[in-house]
Structure 1
Amino acid sequence: MRMLEKDEEADVEVKWEDQQRINEFSRLNNKVSDWEDQLSAKKQEKEYLEDLSGELELADEDEPVKYRLGEAFVAISLEDAQSRLEKEQDKLTEDIDALDTKMTEASERMAELKRLLYGKFGNAINLDK
C-alpha cells in the first residue's frame, strides 16, 4: 500500500448518487465474477457432452446404453440416449448464450459507471480488479 501523492488526492465530496453508482459497480462486478465461474463450468460440461456424443457414435446400436438421470443410471436405447444428449447440449448452448448476454450487458453498464466515477474522482478511486 502507498499513500496518495498531493496531486493524486481528490477533494471531491462523495454524494449519495456517487455512492449508489459505486455500490452498483461492486454488485455488477461480483455478479460478473460469479457468471464467469458458471460459464466456465457450463463450457466444460458441454465439452464433456460433445466427447460423449462422439463415443456414442461408436457404440453398438443393439446394446442398451447406461444413461445418467439424476444420481441413477438407466439402461436406454442408443437412439434415445443420443436424442437426450442432443437436448442437453441444446440446453447448455442456450444457458451459455444467456450468460454471455448477461455478462455483456453488465460489462457495458460497468464501463459506463467507470467513465462517470473516474470522471468525477480521477485517480482517487480504483475500479479495476
Structure 2
Amino acid sequence: MDVRLEDQQKINTFSRLNTRLHELEAQVAAKKKDAEDLEEAGAEVMLLDDETVPYVVGECLVHLPREEVEERLQAALDEIQEETKGIEGQMRGIKAQMQELKAQLYARFGSSINLEE
C-alpha cells in the first residue's frame, strides 16, 4: 500500500503527540510527588511545638512563624494542584487528537499499521 504525503504527515503528527503525551505524563507524576512532599511537610509542621519553623527560601534557611509556614505550604500545594489540572487538560486534548488521527490512519491502512503502545 502506498503512503501518501498526507498519510505520512498524520503519522508524524501522531508520533509527536505521543511523545508530548509521555512528557506531560512525566510532569504530572513529578507534580504529584511534589504535592505529596508538601503534604508531608505540612503534617510535620503541625506536629512541631515551636513557634518558629525553619523554611527554605531560595537557597537560604529562614525561621518563620509556624502559621506563615503553613500558609506558604498550602499556597504551594494549591499552585501545584492547579498546574496539574492544567497539564491534565492538555493531556485530554492530545488524547482526543490522537484518537482522531488513529481512526483516520486505521481506516486507511487497517492492520498494516500499529499505533498502539
TM range, smaller chain = over 0.9
1:33-72 matched pairs, under 5 angstroms: 33-62=22-51, 64-72=52-60
**Unaligned stretches of 5+ residues in structure 2:** none
Give the share of equivalent positions with the same residue, in percent.
Answer: 38
2:89 match: 101
1:47 deviation in Å? 0.7
Structure 2: how far apart are the matches of 1:116 and 1:53?
49
1:108-127 matched pairs, under 5 angstroms: 108-127=96-115
RMSD of aligned residue pairs (Cα, Å): 1.1
Q: Structure 2-normalised TM-score?
A: 0.94
Which of residues 15, 23, 30 in structure 1 aligns to 2:12? 23
Structure 2: how far apart are the matches of 1:73 and 1:27?
42
State the number of aligned residues: 117
Q: After TM superposition, which residue ranges in structure 1, 4 or more long, deviate above 2 angstroms? A: none
- Structure with a larger share of its residues in helix: 2
1:57 deviation in Å? 1.4
1:79-98 matched pairs, under 5 angstroms: 79-98=67-86
Please identify the structure whose Cα radius of gyration is greater.
Answer: 1
